[in-house]
Amino acid sequence: MTTTARRTILLFTTSLLTTSLLPTPLPPYFPPRGHWDHKSPAAVGIDSARLAAAVAFAQGADNGWPTDVGAQLRITTAKEPYPAIVGPVKDRAQTNGVIIRHGYIVAEWGDTKQVDMTFSVAKSYLSTVAGLAFDRGLIPDVDQPEGALIKDGGFDSPHNAAITWRMHLNQTSEWEGTLWDKPDVADRRLGYDRQLGPPGTIWEYNDVRVNRLALSVLRLFRKPLPDVFRDEIAAPIGMSDSWVWHGYFKAYADIDGKRMASVSGGGHWGAGFWASTLDHARFGLLALHHGNWNGKQLVSEKWFGLATAPTPIRPNYGFMWWLNTDRKQYPAASANSFFALGSGGNVIWVDPDHDLVAVIRWFDLAKIDQFMALVTATVTNP
């Protein structure tokens, strides 16, 4: 046998041995209702020592808010022009969280079953319900003016008439008006006395406008959005019955002769989407799979593509999902990561590059990127 032949056989044998030592990829796992399988870190390509360090870090990262969330809200809204709390609030748990790899729980700490407020995490839920409207043709074109379908007076002015669904979804609408006793100026974070720009030209995080979008989507479905979410998403992905989606105390609309609550897209002045950490993790897993749950497409992949596409004037924001474009949001996370983020350090982190979902609650904002660095470093194989 020639030297070349021996070398070829050796390389082939080495390749076979190396291949046989590689871990067998786990098939996608979707937890059934009422149960969620745990896996050892090694079984899902996670370094156990590094994972333990990430969890220990998270356990010491409580945001320091009082348990009485209402008291905290009164402090944070005190300098606003319209500070009144107009929706329900509840006391919070201490910091807690869960890390999911390949669909399995690999780490869990704190009380992950307590139902808590999650503030602007609600916006990503609202975006997904809007996606259901898009999939059903209720929103035929995101670039169509919203007022072409919504005839309740909210889009009658020349300024508001130019607002499209896309603008409302990516927070560039500049919608002007009052809703549920809150004028849009109540949350003009770029300046309470600033002049509005043409719709689509300025990005501003504004809960009044998000709540206006929620009302518009309610009018499309002609059915309370919590009912839509329960039937079309929560039940199919096995969420518990403990979550609740509140509106403000006065947030009711008359639709087809029925009085229906209109939900809020955050907890700035109370209300919002309240859920346990484990239920948020199921929603994050659905988002990781771009709307697919165990082979059934609950929300179209096309919608999730739109929802996670950068807004040109705000590249780290999509349709009410935060993005990591150019890794500017969280440098330690992958560039393809996207997030549902809420005040108080409430986070659903979706990382497609590492097939990973993590939910953290009541987390010190200054420590989130370091936590993501620690978790990312735990991954030993794809």
R_g (Cα) of the chain, nearest Å: 23
What mean pLDDT value characterizes the chain? Answer: 94
Parent domain of 201:
35-376
Residue 300 lies in a domain: yes
Distance CA 269, CA 289 (A): 32
Distance CA 36, CA 103 (A): 9
Residue 219 lies in a domain: yes
Distance CA 149, CA 146 (A): 6
Which pLDDT score, from 0 to 100, does residue 25 have? Answer: 66
Residue 292 lies in a domain: yes
Any idea of the CA torsion for 319, 324, 328, 329, to the nearest 10 degrees? 70
Which pLDDT score, from 0 to 100, does residue 176 have? Answer: 98
pLDDT digits (tens, 9 = 90+) for 251-300: 999 999 999 999 999 999 999 999 999 999 999 999 999 999 999 999 99
Please calculate the CA angle 245-248-249 and round it to the nearest 5 degrees: 115
Residue 317 lies in a domain: yes
Residue 3 lies in a domain: no
pLDDT digits (tens, 9 = 90+) for 103-150: 999 999 999 999 999 999 999 999 999 999 999 999 999 999 999 999
Residue 306 lies in a domain: yes
Which pLDDT score, from 0 to 100, does residue 235 have? Answer: 98
User: Taking Cα atoms as reference points, which of 307, 289, 282, 275 lies closest to residue 351?
Assistant: 289
Residue 235 lies in a domain: yes
Which pLDDT score, from 0 to 100, does residue 21 have? Answer: 47
User: Taking Cα atoms as reference points, which of 257, 179, 263, 192 lies closest to residue 225?
Assistant: 263
CATH of the domain at 255: 3.40.710.10
pLDDT digits (tens, 9 = 90+) for 148-189: 999 999 999 999 999 999 999 999 999 999 999 999 999 999
Report whether 252 contacts 100 (CB < 8 A).
no
> What is the tally of structural domains in the chain?
1
pLDDT digits (tens, 9 = 90+) for 39-90: 999 999 999 999 999 999 999 999 999 999 999 999 999 999 999 999 999 9
Using pLDDT thresholds of 50, 70 and 90, give the confidence band for residue 381. Answer: confident
Using pLDDT thresholds of 50, 70 and 90, give the confidence band for residue 24. Answer: low
Residue 214 lies in a domain: yes
Token readout for 301 is: 């992949």
User: Taking Cα atoms as reference points, which of 1, 11, 233, 249 lies closest to residue 130?
Assistant: 233
Q: Is the pLDDT of residue 310 over 90?
A: yes
